[in-house]
Structure 1
Amino acid sequence: MRINQFLVGLILSVLMLYSCSVKKYIPEDESLYTGSELEIETEEKIDDLKGIQRELEGLFRPSPNSKFLGMYFGLWAHYKGSKEKPGFINRFLKKRFGEEPVYFSRVNPQTTEELMLNRLENNGFFFAETSSEVKRNGKFTSVSYQATLSEPYVLRELKIDRDSLEVDKEIIKLMEESELLPGTRFNLSKLNEERERLDESLKNKGYYNFNPNYLIFEADTNVTDKREFDLFLRFRKNAPENGIIPYKVQKIKIFPNYSVTEDENKLDTVVVDGKDFIQGNLVFKPNLLEQYILLEKEDRYSPLRSRLTSNRLSSIGTYRFVNLRYEELEDSVTHGNLEANIYLSPLTKRSIRAELQGVSKSNNFAGPALNLVYRNRNLFKGGETLSLTGKFGFETQIAGGDLSGLNSIELGLKADLVYPRVIFFVPIKEKFSYSVPKTKMSLGTEYQSRGGLYRLNTFSANYGYFWNANRFVFHEINPISLNVVNLTRTSPEFEEILDSNPFLRRSFEQQFIAGINYTFNYDKLSGRFRTHGVFIGTTLDFAGNALGLANSIAGWEEGKFLGLNYAQYSRGDVDLRYYFRMNEEHTIATRLFGGVGLPYGNSESLPFVKQFFAGGPNSVRAFRIRSLGPGTYRPENTGIGAFFDQAGDIRFEGNIEYRFPIVSVVKGALFMDAGNVWLMNDNEALPGGKFTSDWWSELAVGAGFGMRIDIEFFVIRFDLATPLRVPYLPENERWGNTFDIRSGDWRRENLIFNFAIGYPF
C-alpha cells in the first residue's frame, strides 16, 4: 500500500511540474485563452433562465484547452511532441493526447456580444444589453461576459390570416393543439418548431408537396403599450398551387422481382385488392405479399403508412432492397393524384454458409464451434425461411481454477422454419403494426458429452411468435416449448456427486420440460451520440402446469408423462441496464439483474439447465466459475462436484463499469461487481444456501481492470479482478483484502483472470 501511495504521489507531482511548464512554450506575442464566464442580470423572474444561460454559453468560441485535474496535460503533450527532436514517447503522447493551443488572438469578444444580443432577441428580450471584460494574468487570458435582460415580449393573440381553402381549415384545426398560447414568451425556435409540426401533420393528411417554408409567422409588437405582441400565421405569396392541395393514391404497382433490365409491358400482372403485382415467373404469391402493404387506392398520401409499408416489406427477410417511389399523375380539380411504385429486389434464395465461431456462453463455457447452415429464404413463395444448422463444438471452462478437465463436446442438428406472418388456427390479419409478427417452428436434437462425467441426448420442439413493436421493443412468446433430456452414461464420480445431493439428482431426473415462455426487451442502448442508454429485459418461463392439470384429470401416474418425469416450475428474471455516455468514447455502464425460480408440484428443485449461478466472466468476475453460493455455502473442496452444487433458484447481481479508450481498437475498463445465488428450499447437502431476509449480508463484491479488443463487429475481452467481500467467510471477516501482491499464494487465490467474447452487459 505504501508503494502504491508513493507512485500516485510521484505521478501527480510530475504532472504538476508538466502543467506549470506550459507557460514557457507560449510565444511572446500570444496569450493562452483559458475560457469565459457569463453573468446574467434580470429585472424580474425569468422562466427557464438556466436554459437561456446554457444557450448563451454555447456561443462562446473557441473552446479553451481541456484540463485534467486542473492541469493542461493535452497542451503539454502537444508542445513536447512539437519540438525539433521530440523522441518516440513525446511523439506518441502528442498523437494520442495532444491538443493544439487555443490563443486569445482567436477570440473576438465583440462578435460574441453581437451573437448573444441576437440570441436574446430571438428569445423575446428586444431591449437586452451585453458587454464583456478581458482579464489578463501574465500569459493567460479569460473573458467575463455580462448580459442584462429586460422584460420579455409575450404573446397576446394568435391569428390565422385566411380560412377559405381546405388546407386553411386543416391548419386552424391543428393550431388548436399548438403550444403557442397567450402569455408565452416570444421564441423564434418555437415558431420554427411549430412550422415543422404543421408540415409533418399536413403531409400525413395528404399534402404531398407541402413545405414548411410556405408558412410565415409575423409578429406585431405595436398592439399595446405593454410588452406584448400579436402573431399572424399566413402563407407566403409565392406558395405554389400544388403545394396546398391534398393528394390521393390512384394506382399501386408492386414489382416482387424487380430488375432494371426487365420491361414492365412484357411481364404478367395480377390484381389483388386494387393493387397491380407485376412479375414474370412467380417469385412471391401476390395474395400473401398484399398483406404487408398498407397503401390503398383512393386513400390520401401518408408518409407514415409509406414508411410502415417499407418497414414491413423489409422485415420479411426475403428482400435485399425495398424502394417505394411516388409519381405525380394528372391533377383533378380538388386534389392531386399519385402512382405508388414498390420495387422489391430479392436476396439470393438459397445459400450454404460455414461459420467458425468463438463461443462464450452464459454458463462460462468457451471454445471453438463449427456451424454449417443451409438457408432457403422463400421456401413456399410466401417469404418463408427454412434454416438447417449442423453444429460441432468443443468448449472448456476458462479460468476454472480446480475445475480442470471440465469440458464439453457438442453435436447438434436443428431445423427452423419461419413464416413472416401469424400462423394460428383462426386467420389473423394485422395491418398497422410497426413490423410483421413472425411464426417460428423449431425441431432439434443435441448430443453433449461433458468431461467424461455424463452424456446428454436432448430433443427439443418449439412453436411461437416474435415481433418488433417499434424500433426499441421486442416480444417473443413460445406457447409450446418442449424439451426431452435423456441422461446416459453417468460416471461413478458423477454418481457420487448425485448421491451426496438428492436435490441435484432430482434436477437431472426431470427429463421432460413442457411449458410456455415469454421474452420482452426494451433496447435503447445503441447510438454513439446517445447520452443516456437504457435496456429493460425480462423473461418468464412456466413449465408443467398443463401436464399437471391433465395428470389430475386423466389419472395418470403422478409426475409422469409418457413414462418420463416432468418438471413443474415458474421462473422469471429482470435485466436492467443503464449507460451514461460522457462523450463518444467514455461510458459508465451499469446493470442490475434479478431472477427467481420456484419449483412446485412434483419438483423439489429447478431442472439443472434452468438454475442460476454466479461467478465467471459474465457475472461477478472476482470469483471463479460457479464458485459463489448458494448463500454462504462453501464446499469442502473446489473440484468437479462443487461446479454442480453451486447453483440456485434465486440470483441477484449488480455491476458498474467505466469504459474508456487506450489506443486504436484497444479499450479499457474499471469495474465492480456484486451478487450471489440462493436456494428457495432448504437443502441439507448445501448448508447456508437458503434465501433469508438478510440476503444482502451474503453478497459477494469484487473489482478489477479489463482490456478489450473491439473491432466493432467482434470483441475479445480480458478481465483481471480481485474479491473485496467474500460471503462464505465468518460474518465479521467478509470485508477486506490483504492485497499482498508479492505472495504467490495470494495471487493464486485473489487475482482472477477471465477471458470472454463480447461485453459482459
Structure 2
Amino acid sequence: MSNKFALSSFNMNKPLAILILLAFLVLMLAGCSVSKFIPEGSYLLDNVKIESDNKEIKPSQMNLYVRQKSNAKWFSLVKLPMYIYGASGLDSTKWINRFWRKIGEAPVIYDPVLAEETRSEMEKAVQNMGYMGASVGLQEVSDGNRMKVYYTVRSGEPYVVERLAYDISDAKIADYLAKDPVRAGLYEGMRFDVNVLDAERQRITQYLQNQGYYRFNKDFITYQADTMLNTHKVDLTLKLLPYRRTKEDLPQPHRQYTLRNVNYVLDADFSELSEDALRGLDSISSGGTGVFYKGKPFLRPKVLTDCNYLIPGNLYRNRNVQNTYSALGRLSILKYSNIRFNEVALPGDSTRLDAYIFLSKNKNKALSFEIEGTNSAGDLGAAASVSFTHRNLFKGSEAFTLELRGAYEAVSGLEGYANSHYMEYGIESSLNFPEFMFPFLSSDFKRRIRATSEVSVKYNWQIRPEFERTLAAAAWSYRWTRRGKATHRFDLLDINYIYMPYTSEAFNAYLDRMDQINPLLRHSYEDLFIIRLGYTYTYNSVGGNAINAAKHNSYSIRFNIEESGNLLYGLSKLVHKKPRYGDAYQLANIDFAQYVKMDIDFAKNFVIDERNSLVFHAGLGIACPYGNSKSLPFEKLYFSGGANSVRGWRVRSLGPGSYRGDGNTIDYVNHTGDIKLDLNVEYRTYLFWKLNGAVFIDAGNVWNIRSQGTQTEGVFKFNRFYKQLAVSYGLGIRFDLDFLILRFDGGMKAINPMYTGRDRYPIVSPDFGRDFAFHFAVGYPF
C-alpha cells in the first residue's frame, strides 16, 4: 500500500480535450492587453539584459543588483501571469477583476530612477572586485509603450596586489597568526578584491575568537592600500588596531579570556548576570559545573555536563560555544537554550568570564492524531494514526514514542476478486537516546561522536485480497550529523520476521503459472527472517531542508549499503556443512535472507533566476541475493514507475527489461528487479500565488541479475540495457504551502521497451488512454 508521501497512479481517459482547453485559455490570456494599466508617458518594462566584456564578471552575478525586473515568464517563455492580470477590468469593485489580479502579476512600469540606482550599484560591485576603473553603461530602447533596458559592464584592467605586508604590533596575536595553518587568504599577485579582503577579516576574527579573544571583532582589522602612479599595482598592508572599549580609552593589547565558572540555569532567566541573582535558586554541582533550578531539576546533571564544552579554567573559544549549542539541540525536552557571558572584575585580573547557560523546558508529553487520504493505483482509501510522545522518560531527554495506525482501501479491478478491500493495522514504539549508547565507551568518545541512539519495535498486519502478511521487527540504530549538511545513519541490528498466514487460491494459481516464467517469485512470498545491518550517508550542500534546497544552487548525494545473513550463514556453515532441511539454512525452522544491497542517488539543482530552475537526478541501485537466498525478499526488490521514478508508468508496472507481463492485475508482483536505474531532468517554474509548474523527462527501468525461468528479457546485459530504457515526459503542478509541497504530475510514455515496431515509440503515435498516467505525491520527487 502506498503511503501519503507517494500515492500511485491511474490512467486518464480523455485528457486531450483538457489540454486543448488549456492551450486555448493560454492563447486567449496572451491576447489580453495590459496597455490600460500603463499610464500615459510611461513604459512597460519589457526586458532587462546585462552584458559584460569580462568572463570573470558574469551577468548572473550582476543580477543581484537589479532593482527592477520585468514580469515573470512561465518556463522562461511566456509572461502569462501579466496577461492573467490584464484579463481584469479597471473596476476593482468587481470580484472577477479582483480574482484575476490576485492570481496574476501587475505589469512592471519602468522607473528610470531605479535603473540609474541599478547601474550605480553594479559599477560599485565591479570596482570592489578589483576593477577600479570599471564603468557600467545604461541604454534604454523603447518600442511603443514598451521599454528594454541594457546594462553593459566594461571592466578595464584589474588592480593587482604587488606587495603584501602585515602591521601587527600585538606580539601575541602576531605569533598566533604566524602559526595559522590556513593563512592563505591573501597573497601577492592576487586581484585587489574588496570582497576577499573582507572575508579574510572575518576569518581572522573567528580564528582569534577561538584563541580566547572574547572581545575581538573584525573592526580591529583594517587595510591600507597604496597604488603606484600610472600602474595597476597595489601595495597592501593589513593592520591590527589596538584594543579600545571606547574611543576615549587609551590603546592596550587585546586580552585573552579564561572561563572561571560555568553555570546551568534551568527554567529561570534574569537580565543581570551575577552570583547574587542565583541565590534564590537551589543548586548542585556536577563535573565542575553548577546547576541552578527551582524545585527539582528536570534533567540529570550528568546529561548537562555531557553536553557542555565550556570547561572552567580553559580559554574562551567560540567553537566550544557552538558545540555546546549543537549538543543541547539534540535534547528534545528543551524548548530553547541561550548562553551568556559575564566579565568578572577581580583585583588585578579582568580577563575572567562566567558562563551562564539558560535552558527552557519543553512540554513533557504530547498526543497527536492524524487522518490522511490514500490513492493506490486509483483505489481510494483513508488512514488514521494516533501517536503519544514522552520527551523526557528517564530525565535524560530520552524520547519515547508509541504510534497506532490503521488504514482501509477499496480494491477494484483485481482479477479474480470483486468488492474486495485492503486493510492495514500497525503498532510501533521507539526510544531515542541523545547520546551514543554502547557498552565500554568513554564519555569523551561519546562527546566526539555526537550521535543519537534509537531502539524500536513494530508490528504490522496487512490484509489484501490476494494474501495476508505480518511483519514483526526490532532495530537498534545510530544517527549523527556533521556541520548541518552531512547525515550518517548506522543500523547496527535490524531484525524482521515476515509471516504469510494466508494466500488466496487465485494468488496461488498465479504463482503456479509464474513458476515457468519466474520460478524465484514464489520465494518472495514465503515466511522469512531478515537480519540486516546497514549504513546510510546523506549530504546536501545547503543543509537538510529540502524546500530550502530547491531555491538555491545545490546538490545532494545519498549512499546506502546493507547486508543480511552473512554472519548467520557463516555460523550455520560451521555447525552443518549442508542445510538439514531443503536448500537453505534456517533460524527457528524459518529460512533467513542473505544478500547485499547498494544504492546511490545524486541530484543537482541549477537556479536560473528566482522563478526558474533546472534539476538533474540520477539514481542507481544494485542488490544481489546469494548463499542462503535464491531471490531478494519482496521488500528489498526494486520497482520502476510511479510518482518518483519514470512517471509515464503507474507504480510497479514497468520492467524488468522489456518484460511485458500477462496483463493480469496481480502481475504487479512480477514487475520487480535486482538492478534499478533512474535518470530525470525537470524544469521548474513559479506560476502564481502558491502554484509552481514543472516540465520533466524521465528515463529508467529495472532488471534482474540472473535469468529466472523463461523471463530472459528482464536480465541485465551491457550490450542491450540502454535499448531497454523506458522514457517518458510530462507536466506537473505543485502547491507550495511553505511547510510541505503537494505535487500533481501527469506523464506520457515516449519510448516503451515492452513493445516493438510502431508501439515502441508512443511519442510518435500517442494514445492517451494507453500512455498517460497521473500521480499525486507529497514533496519533490528528488
TM-score normalised over the length of structure 1: 0.85
Alignment of 1:212 with 2:212, yes or no, is no
Taking the aligned partners of 1:400 and 1:674, their CA distance within structure 2 comes to 28
Q: 1:129 to 1:493 in 2, by over 3 A?
A: closer
1:158 to 137, 157, 164: 164
1:503 to 520, 540, 543: 520
Taking the aligned partners of 1:425 and 1:138, their CA distance within structure 2 comes to 79
Unaligned runs of 5+ in 1: 42-47, 741-745
User: Equivalences for 1:305-384 in 2 at 5 Å?
Assistant: 305-330=320-345, 336-358=351-373, 367-384=381-398
**1:512 matched residue in structure 2:** 529
Q: 1:252 to 1:454 in 2, by over 3 A?
A: same
1:625 to 614, 635, 651: 651
1:444 to 458, 467, 474: 458
Q: 1:388 to 1:28 in 2, by over 3 A?
A: closer
**1:654 matched residue in structure 2:** 679
User: Equivalences for 1:746-757 in 2 at 5 Å?
Assistant: 746-757=767-778
Taking the aligned partners of 2:367 and 2:98, their CA distance within structure 1 comes to 49
Alignment of 1:472 with 2:477, yes or no, is no
Q: Give CA-to-partner distance per residue, 1:677-734, whole Å, 9 cap, x none.
A: 2222211253422222211211222223333444333444433333222222126641
Alignment of 1:683 with 2:721, yes or no, is no
Task: Please state whether the residue corresponding to 1:299 is helix, strand or coil.
Answer: coil
Taking the aligned partners of 1:399 and 1:717, their CA distance within structure 2 comes to 26
**Residue 313 of structure 1, CA deviation:** 0.9
**Residue 535 of structure 1, CA deviation:** 2.2
Task: Please state whether the residue corresponding to 2:285 is helix, strand or coil.
Answer: strand
2:495 to 479, 482, 486: 482
Larger mean Cα displacement after TM superposition, 581-590 or 295-304: 581-590
Larger mean Cα displacement after TM superposition, 48-57 or 573-582: 48-57
Q: 1:715 to 1:646 in 2, by over 3 A?
A: same
Alignment of 1:616 with 2:646, yes or no, is no
Alignment of 1:179 with 2:185, yes or no, is yes
Q: How many residues align?
A: 743
Task: Please state whether the residue corresponding to 1:727 is helix, strand or coil.
Answer: coil
Q: 1:108 to 1:643 in 2, by over 3 A?
A: closer
Q: Give CA-to-partner distance per residue, 1:370-389, whole Å, 9 cap, x none.
A: 22323222222222222222
Alignment of 1:581 with 2:607, yes or no, is yes
Alignment of 1:244 with 2:265, yes or no, is no
**Residue 450 of structure 1, CA deviation:** 1.4
Taking the aligned partners of 2:657 and 2:153, their CA distance within structure 1 comes to 62
**1:221 matched residue in structure 2:** 227
Task: Please state whether the residue corresponding to 2:548 is helix, strand or coil.
Answer: coil
Alignment of 1:96 with 2:132, yes or no, is no
Q: Does the CA contact (< 8 Å) of 1:503 and 1:604 recur in 2?
A: yes
Taking the aligned partners of 1:614 and 1:373, their CA distance within structure 2 comes to 32
**2:201 matched residue in structure 1:** 195
RMSD (CA atoms) = 4.0
Taking the aligned partners of 2:768 and 2:47, their CA distance within structure 1 comes to 48
**1:533 matched residue in structure 2:** 554
Q: Does the CA contact (< 8 Å) of 2:367 and 2:387 recur in 1?
A: yes
**Residue 52 of structure 1, CA deviation:** 7.6
Q: Does the CA contact (< 8 Å) of 2:119 and 2:138 recur in 1?
A: yes
User: Equivalences for 1:106-125 in 2 at 5 Å?
Assistant: 106=113, 122-125=128-131
Taking the aligned partners of 2:699 and 2:747, their CA distance within structure 1 comes to 12
Larger mean Cα displacement after TM superposition, 509-518 or 171-180: 171-180
**Residue 598 of structure 1, CA deviation:** 0.7
Q: Does the CA contact (< 8 Å) of 2:62 and 2:122 recur in 1?
A: yes
**2:308 matched residue in structure 1:** 293
**Residue 158 of structure 1, CA deviation:** 2.8
Larger mean Cα displacement after TM superposition, 597-606 or 7-16: 7-16
1:461 to 459, 467, 474: 474
TM-score normalised over the length of structure 2: 0.83
Alignment of 1:692 with 2:717, yes or no, is yes
Taking the aligned partners of 2:730 and 2:52, their CA distance within structure 1 comes to 46
1:255 to 244, 249, 265: 265
2:632 to 592, 606, 610: 606
**Residue 309 of structure 1, CA deviation:** 0.8
**1:44 matched residue in structure 2:** none
User: Equivalences for 1:710-721 in 2 at 5 Å?
Assistant: 710-721=736-747
2:618 to 589, 592, 595: 592
Larger mean Cα displacement after TM superposition, 517-526 or 206-215: 517-526
Taking the aligned partners of 2:84 and 2:614, their CA distance within structure 1 comes to 26
Q: Does the CA contact (< 8 Å) of 2:411 and 2:421 recur in 1?
A: yes
**Residue 583 of structure 1, CA deviation:** 4.1
Taking the aligned partners of 1:401 and 1:753, their CA distance within structure 2 comes to 22
Q: Give CA-to-partner distance per residue, 1:229-274, whole Å, 9 cap, x none.
A: 3223334578336892121111100134547799843544332221
**1:265 matched residue in structure 2:** 279
Q: Does the CA contact (< 8 Å) of 2:104 and 2:688 recur in 1?
A: no
Unaligned runs of 5+ in 2: 1-14, 246-250
Q: Give CA-to-partner distance per residue, 1:317-338, whole Å, 9 cap, x none.
A: 2211112111221167576211
Task: Please state whether the residue corresponding to 1:474 is helix, strand or coil.
Answer: strand
Q: Does the CA contact (< 8 Å) of 1:167 and 1:245 recur in 2?
A: no
**Residue 428 of structure 1, CA deviation:** 3.8
Q: Does the CA contact (< 8 Å) of 1:123 and 1:186 recur in 2?
A: yes
Taking the aligned partners of 2:689 and 2:87, their CA distance within structure 1 comes to 22
Q: Give CA-to-partner distance per residue, 1:536-563, whole Å, 9 cap, x none.
A: 2222221111111010112263511221
Alignment of 1:429 with 2:443, yes or no, is yes
Larger mean Cα displacement after TM superposition, 662-671 or 683-692: 662-671
Q: Give CA-to-partner distance per residue, 1:617-639, whole Å, 9 cap, x none.
A: 33323223322222222222322
Q: Does the CA contact (< 8 Å) of 1:434 and 1:468 recur in 2?
A: no
Task: Please state whether the residue corresponding to 1:489 is helix, strand or coil.
Answer: strand
**Residue 194 of structure 1, CA deviation:** 2.3
Task: Please state whether the residue corresponding to 2:714 is helix, strand or coil.
Answer: coil
Larger mean Cα displacement after TM superposition, 541-550 or 580-589: 580-589
Q: Does the CA contact (< 8 Å) of 2:103 and 2:689 recur in 1?
A: no
Q: 1:747 to 1:474 in 2, by over 3 A?
A: same
Taking the aligned partners of 1:297 and 1:635, their CA distance within structure 2 comes to 71
Taking the aligned partners of 1:130 and 1:737, their CA distance within structure 2 comes to 48
Taking the aligned partners of 1:585 and 1:194, their CA distance within structure 2 comes to 33
Task: Please state whether the residue corresponding to 2:239 is helix, strand or coil.
Answer: strand
**1:674 matched residue in structure 2:** 699
Give the fraction of aligned pairs with identical amino acids, expressed as a percent: 26
**Residue 672 of structure 1, CA deviation:** 2.8
Task: Please state whether the residue corresponding to 2:302 is helix, strand or coil.
Answer: helix
1:550 to 558, 571, 576: 571
Q: 1:324 to 1:537 in 2, by over 3 A?
A: same
Taking the aligned partners of 1:108 and 1:186, their CA distance within structure 2 comes to 28
2:237 to 224, 229, 232: 232
Taking the aligned partners of 2:37 and 2:738, their CA distance within structure 1 comes to 39
Q: 1:367 to 1:574 in 2, by over 3 A?
A: farther
**Residue 421 of structure 1, CA deviation:** 1.4
Task: Please state whether the residue corresponding to 1:506 is helix, strand or coil.
Answer: helix
Q: Give CA-to-partner distance per residue, 1:62-107, whole Å, 9 cap, x none.
A: 4456678888766666666464589877665544343444346546
Letter matched to residue 654 of structure 2: L
More RCO (CA 8 Å, sep 6+): 2
Q: Does the CA contact (< 8 Å) of 2:267 and 2:359 recur in 1?
A: yes
